[in-house]
């Protein structure tokens, strides 16, 4: 596996939020980055930001839930650069919160298509390319929801558990073949998606975090790229929560349940 400043990375979900932050972090350290996403405008904007800082990046339009797109994504990378050293599988979606019995099958399957099938397909085709390159490192960005129950997000939670299971299993299968596989599990991060909520929703969420603030995209990027670096060369099969201490509390499950319940009731009153 090449060093960060000599390597090639795929970043899915790279058009915005945490994926964009990770792509920018890789590029700032000299990594050549393939920015993958479903919106050509968004991924081209990320590429432009990287190039403006002197980095090297290419845009690749792809849906990680579609096998043909994932094959094309990896082929594009290896045809362009001849190798693949790092992958950050960041692309994710979440259905609106609701009790399990009110969730449709379509909503359940949409969550799994990206959050678990997308991770499976990504690794299925990234790993052979890394084997040909002499090794590599994969980080699957999951969620704090992968570490326990998350009320009113049953499909999302199940999909993130599946992604974490895939991470640990792949780590075992390729540990002696030069490929490390880990996960970063973000908590509440100040992405555009989160910050669209009203302050009445954000304030109690923020106060439930021991550090009393939301995380940043840069903090997720730093953790992700560190796991890919030689500094983490003896780390595989692990999940690194980056969530301000949220899961350290025995009250986490209760507080999360009540926060989401209150949020649903608030939203219902606003209608």
Quick: pLDDT tens for 1-49. Answer: 789 999 999 999 999 999 999 999 999 999 999 999 999 999 999 999 9
Query: What pLDDT is recorded for position 191?
Result: 80
- Tallying the residues shown for the chain, one arrives at 271
DSSP 59: E
Query: What pLDDT is recorded for position 247?
Result: 80
Query: What pLDDT is recorded for position 259?
Result: 59
Percentage helix, strand, coil, to 5, in the chain?
Answer: 55, 15, 30
For 63, residues 6+ apart whose C-beta sits below 8 A from its C-beta are: 38, 69
Query: What pLDDT is recorded for position 271?
Result: 60
Structural domains in the chain, CATH included, are 4-195+212-246 (3.40.50.720)
Query: What pLDDT is recorded for position 73?
Result: 98
Q: Report the C-alpha gap between 83 and 80 in whole angstroms.
A: 8
Q: Report the C-alpha gap between 158 and 53 in whole angstroms.
A: 39
Q: Report the C-alpha gap between 234 and 127 in whole angstroms.
A: 18
156 flagged as catalytic = yes
What average pLDDT values come out for the chain (271 residues) when binned by 10 residues? 91 96 98 97 98 98 98 98 98 88 94 97 98 98 88 92 97 98 92 76 83 93 97 97 81 56 59 60
Residue of 81, 125, 152, 156 with catalytic role: 156
Alpha helices in 14-60 (DSSP H): 17-28, 40-52
Model confidence, pTM? 0.90
Query: What pLDDT is recorded for position 12?
Result: 98
Query: What pLDDT is recorded for position 206?
Result: 86
């Amino acid at each position: 596996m090449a060093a960060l400043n000599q390597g090639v990375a795929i970043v899915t979900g790279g058009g915005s939020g945490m994926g964009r932050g990770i792509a920018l972090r890789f590029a700032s350290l000299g990594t050549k980055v393939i920015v993958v996403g479903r919106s050509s405008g968004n991924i081209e904007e990320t590429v432009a930001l990287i190039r403006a800082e002197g980095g090297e990046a290419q845009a690749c339009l792809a849906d990680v839930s579609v096998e043909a797109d994932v094959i094309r994504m990896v082929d594009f990378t290896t045809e362009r650069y001849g190798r693949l050293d790092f992958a950050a599988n960041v692309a994710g979606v979440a259905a609106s919160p609701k009790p399990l019995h009110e969730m449709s099958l379509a909503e359940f399957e949409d969550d799994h298509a990206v959050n678990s099938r997308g991770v499976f397909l990504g690794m299925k085709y990234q790993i052979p390319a890394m084997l040909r390159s002499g090794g590599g490192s994969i980080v699957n960005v999951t969620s704090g929801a992968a570490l326990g129950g998350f009320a009113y997000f049953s499909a999302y939670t199940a999909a993130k558990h599946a992604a974490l299971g895939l991470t640990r299993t792949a780590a075992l299968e390729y540990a002696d073949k030069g490929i490390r596989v880990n996960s970063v599990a973000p908590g509440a991060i100040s992405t555009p998606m989160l910050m669209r909520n009203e302050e009445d929703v954000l304030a109690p969420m923020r106060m439930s975090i021991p550090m009393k603030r939301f995380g940043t995209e840069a903090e997720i990027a730093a953790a992700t790229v560190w796991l890919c670096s030689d500094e983490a060369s003896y780390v595989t099969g692990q999940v690194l929560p980056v969530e301000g201490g949220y899961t350290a509390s025995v009250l986490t499950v209760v507080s999360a349940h009540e926060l989401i319940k209150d949020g649903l009731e608030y939203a219902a009153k606003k209608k």
